[in-house]
Chains A and B, each alone.
Chain A
């Protein structure tokens, strides 16, 4: 218990001082995205890593949060602080309603159903031009503001987004170590045994699916109000797969692993900019290497590497 809290505080301090190292600059903007992607990856990890249920449609929930926030503020004139919880509530209800029938499915079938869901949502964004602006996007979304403090710069948005991200991380770490978190992992390991122990598996799956969708919606609202412009391409199938990759590379069933995965996949394209068109090749190669040699993800792979290096050094010392 104490160790979990210490880990979280260390992480929080690291996040709070990180901007000092970048002194504004372009990378700070990227770090805002690391925050948003961490939220999304943690949300998907609760579903995939803990409960063992796949979703290839999570970009859709992220998108609904962003578009609801965007339309309600830019078109209807709502306050962003009101639009965000409203969007989250709507997405939560939607995910609960959809979750009940589709979470009966398992494995590949669940993957197909959520894939379809994501694609439908993406098509709706594109086709409801009057509401969303269609493929050309929705602009003029206001920033968050508290009194006269408007969150319109990278540094302000960094702290705003990461406040939410840290809250989600703490929330998820607490959940993972609790009665409900254990039930989720139990469902992952043996659904029939979990049921025999009295776990209402059906309800639990729907609950975690809805929770996961709500977190994605919150991330979507943050995205819309920090970017002030959104378009459907950010919420398509590709992004769902990218989220899945973040979770797997970071480490299934590890909240901090999701941060590592999100950070790597958000920073990598920036670092590979020099490689120009070859960045996709490097990116793909890295994925293959990761999945083949570090299937436990970064969060387990890095300590493992250190241990192996220590052993090598010991062997060298003995020789």
Chain B
């Protein structure tokens, strides 16, 4: 599904990532973990086209997507969420999800301004589909609220609803549980399971070990910019090198 091979990224004199390679399977939930500064977010930003890489390649279903900008990746079925939530704060909750349907609609500037019949029909369809996604993530009753006024937890759900509206084949979530209370984290784990059931491949960067061990099929561990280990949650929990990286060498 997604193949990362030999990704290296150098910032000035600092090597943030060095020759990182792994493969993500279709339909699986994969966790990327590692201590602070391991390069998880940098890796995410490279895969999703926000940063450029120094060397290496990224393949999405055997297609080379290295260096493609995020707007192209959305059309190819890859979407992401952000650690600090990037909502469209002045817009309503429903409108946020409606933007997520941008790639699923096509009315241009003139057709929209002149209210062509097809653009009116399309608008109705966008509204209906967006409402469906809000209900899927359980925040349907907030449709009319201003996105900027949402609590962090609800904002996170909105961000996921908006990402799902793109109808991705793979969704990358950057620390989705950050800032959530335990109740909300439980809801998130359930939601991630529901997303997988739809056949969407999920990749998580996450600090919350309980969540990672609970929902992930496979885990990739990064440390100091290099891949340290890869395997099932059980294998990772028993891996000496991983334990050493997290707890320090004794």
Contact = CB atoms under 8 A, between A and B. Distances in A.
Interface string B117-128: 001001100100
Interface size class of B (residues with CB under 8 A): 35 or more
Given A175-B109, A179-B105, A195 B70 contact: yes
Interface string A193-207: 111111111000001
B71 A198 contact: yes
A179 B112 contact: yes
Interface stretch (B15-23, B34-42, B96-104, B190-198): B96-104
Contacts of A195: 69-71, 74
Nearest to A198: B74
Interface in B62-88: 69-71, 73-75, 79-80, 82, 86-88
A193 B88 contact: yes
A179 to B, nearest CB: 5
Contacts of A253: 90
Interface in A168-201: 171-172, 174-175, 178-183, 185-186, 188-190, 192-201
Nearest to B112: A178
B91 A179 contact: no
A188 B119 CA distance: 23
Contacts of A171: 113-114
B146 to A, nearest CB: 11
A248 interface: no
A179 B166 CA distance: 14
B108 interface: yes
B50 interface: yes
Interface of A: 171-172, 174-175, 178-183, 185-186, 188-190, 192-201, 207-208, 211, 253
Given A179-B122, A189-B88, 20 more contacts: A174-B115, A175-B113, A178-B113, A179-B98, A179-B107, A186-B88, A188-B90, A189-B89, A192-B50, A194-B88, A194-B99, A195-B69, A195-B71, A196-B73, A197-B102, A198-B166, A199-B99, A200-B71, A208-B109, A253-B90
